[in-house]
Chains A and B, each alone.
Chain A
């Protein structure tokens, strides 16, 4: 069990900087999710922890050990790949056993040594039972479903009892129902093994539901790190604000008209915080924080989407498209073309600088 710490870690591929001076402390035993759009560098960061990518600059530690120049095979790390990367010619049991044959392991606190065949069999047995694969041990990966392959990959990772678990989009090849189930299984596994997990995904739902803390990454740079709720409630910049949340946060361009009020077209949007008058800003308001009825924001209804338990009312506020979430039992849907007023609580207004996109309140 160990933490992982990035200190100004940079990865360059020729002219492209995939990870740019990343500084991030992943605490021992924590479930850290690296979240970002595809191509943002999160997988590269993960692969640097694994030792599958070299480090161009900076220092990477696992526990207290600097691992910049330590080979992947000499790091005590297990990884679950998006493709599962199961060995196609081996049975499930052989796949799970494979890492146990290569390394030395400490047994009952003793010095590391090669495991005996019986010890290996016992560990394999434990792992396949934990993941419900006991019936499938003699099958080869080709004869398994996606979900089963996924669990074999997990079993192969956990049988090692590594210092750190890495997972690279492990759920993206599963269907929606299985994904929800496996999400729970992985969280359960984390609780059981109580080891550091670093989990890469582009899916914010995975990040929000699984993470102890999440690190939002864009263009190779760390945007924000924190508990999911904090990141959701106080996004550090416009990128995070727009990236986290579904449907995404509404953003309306405007200008601070007086202390605590932004003017956007005909609307006046009060907010908390101290932002200088005349400053160009972008106001962020989540769809669930707007409600139809009385309020200072004037909007024109463009479309209404009915989703069963709720409606998404799509409106135009001072030229910006916005979504208002309306519970189905909150009365009738507005007519298209109708001018409506939207209410909100001042503490739910996020204000970002129009230039730097950093949070101002």
Chain B
């Protein structure tokens, strides 16, 4: 498939292309100018995005009083390098990040499994009211967590799941977004492949695990990354179902750290940076997967 795309995009008329390039120099200049424009715009946008990150780093490294006295500059003042290790121990970040990691893993793994199964049914199986059911599933995407928060918390409390793994994970074991994304990927698989697999002696489950998922690996992987990020960064829900400090995930922990260190606000900033590190690493290593998956449906390969 990849090779198909390459052949299609191959700039075959090389002669024509180079001829055009040498023949129309003004066109080339216009293109360069346009590119410069884009890069300026992108640089500005990057600055806007990176500014809060930089400022968090500045506030984390600066001694709070000195920083305020200096007049809140854009650079660190009287740097405290040990702030990160202090934040890590005082904020009990090791324990909290471990809890967050477990919760995140459970949610992401479950979302992957349920989304793949459900997307497969919508893409390849025939059953009554399929369209209607799909629309209802998609409609849940319209509901922000704030709308469902109170009834869900009530349910979790009635089940006795406050301060537990169940309470932190069960409401997120399936997601319409994942179903939609993976279904789109599956819809791109030619029906002939399913027919061929049937004749080769495979049922639906084997086709799903051995053909459908491997073929749509970029989409599935990117959804996995998205699910990991979203689960790790959850704030509102854990805040609602956790009432004791032992069950605080790292994002809730940040709040506690900041609240209990009002004098030393830099500990809060340092803890925030530590909590963001896993996400940052994930993004750095998997950004290709992420982008490939999100654009896979856009250009059919």
Complex Cα spacing A89 to B4, Å:
13
- Residue contact B199 to A79, C-beta cutoff 8 Å: yes
For window 160-185 of chain B, which residues contact chain A by CB distance below 8 Å? none
Given contacts A77-B199, A78-B199, A89-B214, contact A102 B206 (CB under 8 A): yes
- Residue contact B192 to A103, C-beta cutoff 8 Å: no
- Residue contact B203 to A73, C-beta cutoff 8 Å: yes
- Option from A52, A71, A87, A160 in Cβ contact (under 8 Å) with B193: A87
Q: Which residues of A contact B202 (CB under 8 A)?
A: 73, 102
Q: Which residue of A lies closest to B211 (CB)?
A: A87
Chain A 125-143 interface mask (CB, 8 Å, partner B; 1/0): 0000000000000001111
A98 within 8 A of B: yes
- Residue contact A88 to B195, C-beta cutoff 8 Å: no
- Option from B1, B201, B214 in Cβ contact (under 8 Å) with A99: B201
Q: Which of B192, B196, B211, B215 has the most CB of A within 10 A?
A: B196
Q: Which residues of A contact B199 (CB under 8 A)?
A: 50-52, 72-73, 75, 77-79, 99
Complex Cα spacing A141 to B4, Å:
9
- Residue contact B198 to A83, C-beta cutoff 8 Å: no
Complex Cα spacing A47 to B211, Å:
21
Total chain B interface residues with beta-carbon distance under 8 A: 21
- Residue contact A81 to B196, C-beta cutoff 8 Å: yes
- Residue contact A79 to B196, C-beta cutoff 8 Å: yes
Q: In whole Å, how far is A62's beta carbon from the nearest beta carbon of chain B?
A: 13
A85 within 8 A of B: yes
- Residue contact A52 to B195, C-beta cutoff 8 Å: yes
Given contacts A89-B214, A142-B1, contact A99 B200 (CB under 8 A): yes
Q: In whole Å, how far is A160's beta carbon from the nearest beta carbon of chain B?
A: 8
- Residue contact A81 to B200, C-beta cutoff 8 Å: no
- Residue contact A85 to B201, C-beta cutoff 8 Å: no
- Residue contact B195 to A81, C-beta cutoff 8 Å: yes
Q: Which residue of B lies closest to A153 (CB)?
A: B196
Complex Cα spacing A104 to B195, Å:
19
Complex Cα spacing A141 to B2, Å:
10
Complex Cα spacing A142 to B8, Å:
12
- Residue contact B3 to A143, C-beta cutoff 8 Å: yes
Given contacts A73-B203, A142-B4, contact A85 B196 (CB under 8 A): yes
- Residue contact A72 to B1, C-beta cutoff 8 Å: no
Q: Which residues of A contact B214 (CB under 8 A)?
A: 89
Total chain A interface residues with beta-carbon distance under 8 A: 28
- Option from A52, A98, A156 in Cβ contact (under 8 Å) with B198: A52
Q: In whole Å, how far is B210's beta carbon from the nearest beta carbon of chain A?
A: 8
Q: In whole Å, how far is A92's beta carbon from the nearest beta carbon of chain B?
A: 13
For window 99-114 of chain B, which residues contact chain A by CB distance below 8 Å? none
Chain A 57-74 interface mask (CB, 8 Å, partner B; 1/0): 000000000000001110
Q: Which residue of A lies closest to B2 (CB)?
A: A142
Complex Cα spacing A98 to B4, Å:
22
B128 within 8 A of A: no
For window 140-165 of chain A, which residues contact chain B by CB distance below 8 Å? 140-143, 156, 160
Given contacts A85-B190, A142-B3, contact A102 B195 (CB under 8 A): no
Complex Cα spacing A50 to B201, Å:
12
Q: In whole Å, how far is A198's beta carbon from the nearest beta carbon of chain B?
A: 13
Q: Which of B2, B3, B4, B200 has the most CB of A within 10 A?
A: B200
Q: In whole Å, how far is A173's beta carbon from the nearest beta carbon of chain B?
A: 12
Q: Which residues of A contact B1 (CB under 8 A)?
A: 88, 141-142
Q: Which residue of A lies closest to B195 (CB)?
A: A52
Q: Which residues of B contact A156 (CB under 8 A)?
A: 200
Given contacts A102-B206, A142-B4, contact A85 B192 (CB under 8 A): yes
Q: Which residue of B lies closest to A98 (CB)?
A: B200
Q: Which residue of B lies closest to A81 (CB)?
A: B192
Q: Which residues of B contact A102 (CB under 8 A)?
A: 200-202, 206
Q: Which residues of A contact B196 (CB under 8 A)?
A: 79, 81, 85, 87
Q: Which residues of A contact B197 (CB under 8 A)?
A: 87, 98
- Option from B3, B201, B217 in Cβ contact (under 8 Å) with A73: B201
Q: Which residues of B contact A143 (CB under 8 A)?
A: 3
Complex Cα spacing A77 to B198, Å:
10
Chain A 148-189 interface mask (CB, 8 Å, partner B; 1/0): 000000001000100000000000000000000000000000
For window 246-283 of chain B, which residues contact chain A by CB distance below 8 Å? none
- Residue contact B190 to A87, C-beta cutoff 8 Å: no
Q: In whole Å, how far is B295's beta carbon from the nearest beta carbon of chain A?
A: 18
Q: In whole Å, how far is A50's beta carbon from the nearest beta carbon of chain B?
A: 6
Q: Which residues of B contact A89 (CB under 8 A)?
A: 211, 214-215, 217
Q: Which residues of A contact B4 (CB under 8 A)?
A: 142
- Residue contact A103 to B201, C-beta cutoff 8 Å: yes
Q: Which residues of A contact B201 (CB under 8 A)?
A: 73, 99, 102-103
Complex Cα spacing A88 to B197, Å:
13
Complex Cα spacing A99 to B199, Å:
8
List residues of B whose CB falls within 8 A of some A CB. Answer: 1-4, 190, 192-193, 195-203, 206, 211, 214-215, 217
Q: Pick 8 A–B contacts, CB within 8 A, sort by A.
A: A50-B195, A72-B199, A73-B199, A73-B200, A81-B192, A85-B190, A99-B201, A143-B3
What 8 A-B pairs come out closest when comparing CB atoms?
A102-B201, A142-B3, A99-B200, A85-B192, A85-B196, A72-B198, A103-B201, A88-B1
Given A89-B211, A98-B197, A141-B1, 20 more A-B residue pairs with CB atoms under 8 Å apart are A47-B195, A50-B199, A52-B199, A72-B199, A73-B199, A73-B202, A78-B199, A79-B199, A81-B192, A81-B195, A81-B196, A82-B192, A83-B192, A85-B192, A87-B197, A99-B200, A102-B200, A103-B200, A103-B201, A143-B3
